Amino acid sequence: MRRLALAAAVALLASVPWMGNETLVEFGINALLLATLAQAWNVIGGFTGYASFGNSVFYGLGTYGTAIAMAQLHLPFAAGLGLGAAMAAACALVLGVPILRLRGPYFAIATLGLSAAMAAIFSNLEIAGKNIGLILPLFRGERLFYELSLALLVATTATVAWVASSRFGAGLVAIRENEEAAQVMGVDTTRYKVAALAIAAVFSAVAGGIHAYWITFIDPASAFDSTLNVKMVIMAVFGGPGTVLGPVVGAFTLSAVSELLASRLSTVAAGFYGLVVVLAVVFMPRGLLDLGRGLRRDGWRYFAQNVRRYRL
């Protein structure tokens, strides 16, 4: 039943480019890629409990991998995605070991520095077009980009579903809940954390690659944009971190809210967006999915309980 509903939802989403207008497709591509990023963040942030602010680095490496492969090496798009994903995975493996030793806010701050550092590195690389950036070959295939983004989101979500039900995922949750205890019970915590980061890195990079080819122009500032990272964290947390569908629901909801506000209210939109996030954190800190369950169980008292339980 649940599977059937999911399949129907995917089919419905897949049919959008053949029914909707251009604006809707453009909105769709953005929303799908953001949902992918939120879902990828979910692996390291939601399941493993490491709030990474460095996932935009993986996204940026994906955009640059694709751009360098296509604009400089004249390779096909698929090779570009592969190069970007490989660069991101290598980055996760190399940087993961030292930074995943840090916990809590220290980890968040260390990862936050990575975007800035990476932007500086790439604006000095000849092959990456220095700080001017790169222009990719033009390809006008909105429908293809839409379907690719959807396929990527489905693949990412399938991976998260596997994580949620696997022994590997149980190890990640154990790390989130008590890392010392996980280690004492024989979980190879370092390897698990690095693997979780690498999974997040690969999917984020492919999302970056698709976005780069779609937009056809990239530069260091847009590729390594830490506000993008803030967005994915907010979306994942809004929907429900550590759940299979929460980040997707959160990303779609917030994308829609932000789009509606932007078209109706323009400049005040950002303020309202912020307000929505603040209210969400106060009244439903465990995300949209938990809200659904809580409302059915406790009705409106659910909100009061949250406020009390988290002492807000």
Q: What are phi and psi of 141, to 5 degrees?
A: -140, 70
**How many beta carbons lie within 10 A of that of residue 217, not counting itself?**
13
Binding mask 241-280 for another protein (x = CB under 8 A): ----------------------------------------
Question: Least separation, in Å, of the C-beta of 309 and another protein?
Answer: 13
Integer Cα distance of 180 and 213 in angstroms: 43
Q: Which run of H or E residues covers position 168?
A: helix 167-177
Q: Does 171 bind another protein (CB under 8 A)?
A: yes
CB of 166 within 8 A of CB of 196? Answer: no
Q: Exposed, middle or buried by CB within 10 Å (0-12, 13-18, 19+), for 113?
A: middle
CB of 201 within 8 A of CB of 58? Answer: yes
* Piece of 154-162, 163-171, 291-299, 303-311 that binds another protein (CB under 8 A): 163-171
Residue (152 or 172) nearer to another protein, CB: 172
Residue (84 or 169) nearer to another protein, CB: 169
* Piece of 69-77, 127-135, 144-152, 174-182 that binds another protein (CB under 8 A): 174-182
Residue (181 or 221) nearer to another protein, CB: 181
Q: Which of 5, 19, 184, 311 binds another protein (CB under 8 A)?
A: 184
Q: Does 22 bind another protein (CB under 8 A)?
A: no
Question: Least separation, in Å, of the C-beta of 78 and another protein?
Answer: 38
Q: What are phi and psi of 135, to 5 degrees?
A: -110, 125
Q: Which of 203, 196, 261 lies closest to 232 in space, CA to CA?
A: 203
Q: Does 185 bind another protein (CB under 8 A)?
A: yes
Q: Which of 180, 227, 266, 311 binds another protein (CB under 8 A)?
A: 180
Q: Which of 76, 101, 139, 188 binds another protein (CB under 8 A)?
A: 188
Integer Cα distance of 86 and 173 in angstroms: 26
Binding residues (CB under 8 A) for another protein: these are: 167, 170-171, 174, 177-178, 180-188
